[in-house]
C-alpha cells in the first residue's frame, strides 16, 4: 500500500513538473548559431515533407522514431522522462528501493555498477580488437556511459579537473540517452566505439608524450558526443525536407553543428564544469566544436590536404597547442570512420548496420516521393559495392596519411585489416555479380568536395 502511494505521488510530481517546463532555443544572431537549452516539455514540430506532428522530450526536433512502432516510442519516452527528472544517484537508489535491494555504502561507482566480465574487458580497453558489441551486452546497453567513465578515471581526468563523479555520471547518462537507439548505426554504441578508438590513438607514442590533460579531456568528450541526437538521416535529407536545422545552419555542416550545440547544452545542464572559470568553459565549448565539426565528411578534402602538406613539410610540432589540436581533429576523423580497419567480425557488423540505416532513409524518401539519395536505394545498391567505394575513396587516403604521421604497430594493423576487409567484400561482390572489378559508381559520381579523389593504396 505504501509503495503504491509513493508511486502515485511520484507520477503527480512528474506531471506537474513537465507541465511547467518547456523546450526552448536561445538564438544568437551575432554568429548565426543556436544554443540548445534542454528542458523537459511537450514540443511539437511539423515537417514540410508531410510527416506527422510528433512529441520530443528534450528540445524541438523531428524525431524519426515516428517511423517505428508506437509501443517502442511510448516506452522510450516514458523511461526518458522518469530518468531525467531524477538525478542519477536518486534514480539509482529509488529503483533499488522499489526492488527491495539494499543500497551499499561503497562510493566506488566502478565496483558498484560493473559486473565481473565488463570489468575484465575494460582492463583491455586499449586493445584494437576490443569488441564493443559484446561490451554493450555485458553492460546492459550502457557501453557509452561505462566505457567513457572508465576512460576519464584511467586518464586521471576526474582527479586532475576535480570533477564531481555524480555530475560526470549524470552527464554521460544524458549523452547516452540522447542518442537514438532505434538508429541501426548512429547510436550510442557507435559513439562508444569511436571513443574507444580515440583512446587507442591517444596512447600512440607521438601523442601520449605530448598531450596535456586538457587535450585528452576534449578528445574524449568530443568522441562521446560527436553524433549526439543524430536523426538517422543525412544532411541532404534535412535540406530537401526543409528541416529547420538546415535553415538555421544555412545548409552547412548541419548535423555536426547540431551535435556540437547539443553537447554544449548537456555540459551546461549537467554543471560538470561549473567550478571552472567562464573563460575556460567557453574555450572548452569552442574547442569541442572544432573537433566535432572536423568530422563533417564534406570537409574531407580540406583536412586531408592540410594533413598531407604538414607531413610533406615535416613541420608538425606537437609542443604547439594549435598543431596538437589539429592532430586531434585528424584522430577523431579516423576514429569516426575506422570500422573498415577493425577485424572482419566487427567491421562486417558495422557495414551491415550503416547500410541498413542508408536503406531505411531511402525507404522514407521513396514513401514521400523525395528522390532517393545516393547509396540509399536497396533495389540497386549492395553492402559490398558501398563498402568497397567507401574504403577506396575515403578510408584508404585518410589512414594512409595517418600511418605516415604515426607509423606504429597500430597503424600497420589498421591498414592490414583494411586490406583484408576490402578483399573480403570484393569476394562477396564477385559472388553477387560474377566480376570483382566493379566499384560502386556512386562514389565516383558524387561531388568532388565530398569525396577525395586520391590514388588507391596498394
Q: What is the pairing mode between strands 43-45 and 33-37?
A: unpaired
Q: Is 226 annotated as a binding residue?
A: yes
- Is 186 tagged catalytic? yes
Q: Is 407 annotated as a binding residue?
A: no
| Nearest Cα residue to 23 out of 61, 55, 59, 57 | 59
Query: How far from each other are the two terminal CA atoms of the chain, in whole angstroms?
Result: 72
- Segment 242-248 long-range contacts (CB within 8 Å, at least 24 positions apart): 242/47, 242/48, 242/49, 243/47, 243/62, 244/45, 244/60, 245/61, 248/32, 248/33, 248/34
Q: Is 189 annotated as a binding residue?
A: yes
Q: In whole angstroms, give the CA distance from residue 198 to residue 204.
A: 10
**Are 301 and 448 a contacting pair, CB within 8 Å?**
yes
φ, ψ for residue 54, nearest 5 deg: -135, 170
Name the strand (E) or helix (H) holding 431.
helix 409-433
The residue from 186, 199, 230, 310 that is catalytic is: 186
Query: Which residues lie below 8 Å from residue 262, measured CB to CB, with a gap of 6+?
Result: 36, 38, 59, 178, 225, 228, 229
Helices (H), 226-314: 235-240, 244-248, 254-270, 278-293, 300-313
Question: Percent helix, strand and coil across the chain, each rounded to 5?
Answer: 65, 5, 35
Q: Is 257 annotated as a binding residue?
A: no
Q: In whole angstroms, give the CA distance from residue 110 to residue 154.
A: 11
Q: Is 336 annotated as a binding residue?
A: yes
Q: In whole angstroms, give the CA distance from residue 336 to residue 338.
A: 6
Q: Is 310 annotated as a binding residue?
A: no
- Segment 247-256 long-range contacts (CB within 8 Å, at least 24 positions apart): 248/32, 248/33, 248/34, 249/32, 249/33, 250/32, 253/293, 253/296, 253/298, 253/299, 255/227, 255/230, 255/296, 256/292, 256/293, 256/295, 256/296
Q: Is 282 annotated as a binding residue?
A: no
**Residue bearing cell 591498414:** 415
Q: Specify the 3-state DSSP secondary structure of 47.
A: coil
DSSP letter (8 states) at residue 339: G
Which of the residues are catalytic?
Answer: 186
Give the residue ranges of the annotated binding site for Zn(2+). Answer: 190, 226-227, 336
Give the residue ranges of the annotated binding site. Answer: 186-190, 226-227, 336, 387
Give the residue ranges of the annotated binding site for AMP. Answer: 186-190, 227, 336, 387
Amino acid at each position: 500500500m505504501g509503495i503504491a502511494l509513493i508511486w502515485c505521488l511520484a507520477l503527480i510530481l512528474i506531471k506537474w513538473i513537465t507541465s511547467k517546463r518547456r523546450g526552448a532555443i536561445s538564438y544568437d544572431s551575432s554568429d548565426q548559431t543556436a544554443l540548445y537549452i534542454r528542458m523537459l516539455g511537450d514540443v511539437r514540430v511539423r515537417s514540410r515533407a508531410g510527416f506527422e506532428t510528433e512529441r520530443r522530450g528534450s528540445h524541438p526536433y523531428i524525431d524519426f522514431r515516428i517511423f517505428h512502432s508506437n509501443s517502442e516510442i511510448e516506452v522510450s519516452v516514458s523511461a526518458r522522462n522518469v530518468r531525467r527528472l531524477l538525478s542519477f544517484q536518486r534514480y539509482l537508489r529509488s529503483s533499488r528501493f522499489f526492488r527491495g535491494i539494499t543500497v551499499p555504502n561503497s562510493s566506488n561507482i566502478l565496483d558498484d555498477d560493473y559486473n565481473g566480465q565488463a570489468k575484465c574487458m575494460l582492463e583491455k580497453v586499449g586493445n584494437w580488437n576490443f569488441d564493443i558489441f559484446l561490451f554493450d551486452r555485458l553492460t546492459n546497453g550502457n557501453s557509452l556511459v561505462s566505457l567513457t567513465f572508465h576512460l576519464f578515471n584511467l586518464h586521471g581526468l576526474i582527479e586532475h579537473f576535480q570533477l564531481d563523479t555524480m555530475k560526470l555520471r549524470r552527464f554521460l547518462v544524458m549523452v547516452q540517452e540522447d542518442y537514438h537507439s532505434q538508429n541501426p548505426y548512429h547510436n550510442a554504441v557507435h559513439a562508444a566505439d569511436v571513443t574507444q578508438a580515440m583512446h587507442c590513438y591517444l596512447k600512440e607514442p607521438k601523442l601520449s608524450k605530448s598531450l596535456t590533460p586538457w587535450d585528452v579531456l576534449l578528445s574524449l568528450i568530443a568522441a562521446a558526443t560527436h553524433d549526439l541526437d543524430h536523426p538517422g538521416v543525412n544532411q541532404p535529407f534535412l535540406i530537401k525536407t526543409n528541416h529547420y536545422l538546415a535553415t538555421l545552419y544555412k545548409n552547412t555542416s548541419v548535423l555536426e553543428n547540431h551535435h556540437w550545440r547539443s553537447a554544449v547544452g548537456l555540459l551546461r545542464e549537467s554543471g560538470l564544469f561549473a567550478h571552472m572559470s567562464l573563460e575556460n568553459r567557453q574555450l572548452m565549448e569552442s574547442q569541442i566544436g572544432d573537433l566535432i565539426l572536423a568530422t563533417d565528411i564534406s570537409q574531407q578534402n580540406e583536412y586531408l590536404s592540410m594533413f598531407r602538406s604538414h607531413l610533406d613539410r615535416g613541420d608538425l610540432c606537437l609542443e604547439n597547442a594549435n598543431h596538437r589540436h589539429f592532430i586531434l581533429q585528424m584522430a577523431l576523423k579516423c576514429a569516426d570512420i575506422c570500422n573498415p580497419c577493425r577485424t572482419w567480425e566487427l567491421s562486417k557488423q558495422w557495414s551491415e548496420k550503416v547500410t541498413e540505416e542508408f536503406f531505411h532513409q531511402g525507404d522514407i524518401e521513396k514513401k514521400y516521393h523525395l528522390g532517393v539519395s545516393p547509396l540509399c536505394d536497396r533495389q540497386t545498391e549492395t553492402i559490398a559495392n558501398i563498402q568497397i567505394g567507401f574504403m577506396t575513396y575515403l578510408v584508404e587516403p585518410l589512414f594512409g596519411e595517418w600511418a605516415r604521421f604515426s607509423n606504429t604497430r597500430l597503424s600497420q594493423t589498421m591498414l592490414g585489416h583494411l586490406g583484408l576487409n576490402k578483399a573480403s567484400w570484393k569476394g562477396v561482390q564477385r559472388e553477387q555479380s560474377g566480376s570483382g572489378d566493379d566499384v560502386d559508381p556512386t562514389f565516383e559520381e558524387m561531388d568532388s568536395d565530398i569525396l577525395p579523389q586520391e590514388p588507391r593504396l596498394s
